[in-house]
Each structure stands twice: as C-alpha cells, then as structure tokens.
Amino acid sequence: LDFKNPLQLLIATVLSAQCTDKRVNAVTPALFKKYKNVSAFAGARVEDIEDLIYTTGFFRAKARHIKGLATKIVKQYGGQVPPELEKLVTLPGVGRKTANVVMNTAFGAETFAVDTHIFRVGNRTGLAKGKTPLAVEKQLDKHTPAPFRLGAHHWLILHGRYVCKARTPECWRCIVSDLCTFRSKTELPAKLSKIKG
C-alpha cells in the first residue's frame, strides 16, 4: 500500500478489506489530496468519502469507518494515530490484523498481521499451526527469531501470494520446501520440465 504517514496507512489498510492493494493505491491519491489530515477526515461528509472510495467495495461501511476513526483519533488521541494495539482496535473498522499492519509498518513494532496468506502458509508449512488467526499469530510470535521479526509478515504474505498459493502451491520453486511439512508437494509442471530438460 502507498502511504506517507500512519494515518494514510491506517486508512489504506481499512480500504484494503476485500479489495486488492492495486485498487486501493488507485483510489487513495485523490482521497489523500482532498483530505490532508485527520481533522479533514473527521469533518468530511460520509457521502463525499463514499464518492472517492466506491470502487473498493463495501464503500458505505468503509466511509463510515474512516470518518469514525478520524473523529475518535481527534477526540481521544490528540490527532495522532496511536501506536498501541489496545487503542487501535477501539477505532471503527480496525481489527487486530489492521492494527498489527499499522504497528509493524508505520511504527516498527515486531507484530504479525495474519491474513489469509499467512494463515495458509503458517498451517501448510508447519511454521505456525493454528485454527484461528490469533493462534497462528501467537505461534509466529513464539517461533520467529529476532533478526526476522520485523519483516516476517511481509515475507510470508509474498510467499503465500506468489509461491505457496492456495490452489496450486509451486513447491518445486519454494526455497524452504525441505523444511515444509506439507505432504502433497506439487511437482514441476510438465511443460516447464521439458523446457528445463
């Protein structure tokens, strides 16, 4: 996601629910140009926000959340996005995953935002097994060594998006396949096998 400050990241992450980063990045320049700070978002008409974000899906709820979170940040947090999980999750439209994204990316906290990719990779590989996103998050927190904690959730998302895919994982090009507990590993596709042979 493209952003210049914690508020922009927070709003972009709220917009990214059930939406691609590419679509969010296409919408946010005009949104951030019109509303330059938290007070501007707090004072905005919901309908005007809706007009700028409607292509992200669920735009009515997202517009209410954006205005609501901005209003709460102004009233309760002095106009600054709070860096703590406990405070972030009290904002409208902000759940644990969104809070962890903001804490990690904007504030440099060693957090793990468990999305569908990380949930799948954690369970499939055996790195962080759990039946809920919170359980996977706790396992990642427990097992991720210090040098990798800050970037781990970004790397796992990318791995899940481009290699350890949901339907057809590309195990044949995975750099950690020897450490992975996934038994039904996929083989090199026949077309590529002929080219490499």
Residues serving a catalytic function are 97, 115
Q: Which long-range contacts (CB under 8 A, 24 or more apart) does 158-162 make?
A: 159/117, 159/121, 160/116, 160/117, 160/118, 160/120, 160/121, 161/117
Tokens of 78: 């002095």
Dist. CA 85–CA 87, nearest whole Å: 5
What residue has token string 């962080």?
128
